[in-house]
Amino acid sequence: MSILDDIETIKTESLKEVSTVDNLESLESLRLRFLGRKDGHISKVLQLLPTLNPDEKKQVGRQANEVKRALEACIEDKKRLLEDASLNQSLSQSALDLTLPDRSAFRGKLHPVTQTMDDIVSVFSRLGFNLAEGPEVETDFNNFTALNHPPDHPARDAHDTFYVKDLRDASGAPFLLRTHTSPVQIRYMKSHQPPLYIVAPGRVFRHEAVDATHSFVFHQVEGLAVDKDISMADLKGMLGLFAQHLFGSKARIRFRPSFFPFVEPGIEVDISCTLCDQKGCRVCKQSGWIEMLGAGLVHPHVLRGVGYNPDQVSGYAFGIGVERVAMFKYGVDDMRLFYENDIRFLKQF
């Protein structure tokens, strides 16, 4: 029998055996017997090539490789069939019911503080304000000096402000984590001329003890308007519209005198408690009013510091605590709940 006859016999026997194999272990044993690199039948045939004359070598090599490729393809097809059969058998014997409806994964949502901040910015955007942003690491000048804080102001102390270690500006003053978003006003006014109307949302940092109404990291939305003939009446009208847009048409505001270095006069703004219609509840502490923000007319020293003439333009500024608004909006009485990452709490929003 010639070598070519041997190759044909190998082909016939191997393909017949592949068709009768019924498990993956036997299929692998068959593959090694016919296609193994050292002891496989095809490999033994190819090892004879050096002993053949050139014409036989060419013919035997071609036919052996054809049989090898055909057998490899047949074994691969059989392997897929056996794997599918094994999987189907496993599934049929398991407790998994593929006909049951899927358990839809919980879809993520924006954090309630982020939702509230977006709502605040959206209201002021509809009122004609533009968005402005600034860095969280600020200079002492932008955070304090330009906002009319004297050198001995308590807010500059390390027990109130986080200073960045070993990082100082050109004047030698230390950098710090901004204590409010008001520095964005300074940056914006230095690069823009009146009229301007902006809101600056962002994260701020203060060295405070954490409790139900305070945190060392929180969020503010700062607002600024500078134009000709701006008065306290403009500020009151704008904040009244803001309150009604955000909390409903029944919302009212009231002003109380207060002091902030960068405004004169300064005011605290309260909003009527819409949760109890001012009858008194746990959220408003039975007063019917909730302290919401600080505001006032921009101090002339601040305007002069950025190159504006306070005899020609005036302005108002306000700062809204986002967490405070969120607490009021959602009836939450402890700020810490927003940051404990309890999915049961966050899913409510």
> Using one digit for the tens of pLDDT, what is the confidence trace for 282-338?
767 788 888 889 999 999 999 999 999 999 999 999 999 999 899 888 888 888 999
Does residue 12 surpass a pLDDT of 70?
Answer: yes
CATH topology (fold) of 112-346: BirA Bifunctional Protein; domain 2 (3.30.930)
Do 267 and 258 meet the contact criterion of CB atoms below 8 Å apart?
yes
Beta partners for residue 314, in sequence order: 227
Helix 3-20 with 54-93: angle, nearest 10 deg: 0
- Two tokens at 333? 């009485």
Angle between helices 3-20 and 24-35 (to 10 degrees): 170
Q: 133 and 200 in contact (C-beta within 8 Å)?
A: yes
Task: Choose the weakest-confidence range: 32-46, 190-204, 213-227, 256-270.
Answer: 32-46
| pLDDT of res. 221 | 96
How confident is the prediction for the chain on average, in pLDDT? 87
| Residue of 248, 239, 254 lying closest to 290 (CA atoms) | 254
CA 129 to chain centre: 25
Query: Residues 100-149: pLDDT tens digits?
Result: 787 777 777 899 999 999 999 999 999 999 999 999 999 999 999 999 98
Spell out the alpha helix ranges (H) of the chain. 3-20, 24-35, 41-46, 54-93, 112-126, 140-143, 183-191, 232-247, 300-305, 322-330, 343-346
pLDDT recorded at residue 297: 96
User: Which among 168, 153, 155, 132 has a CA at the least distance from the CA of 205?
Assistant: 155
Q: Cβ(113)–Cβ(338) under 8 Å?
A: yes
pLDDT of residue 1: 52
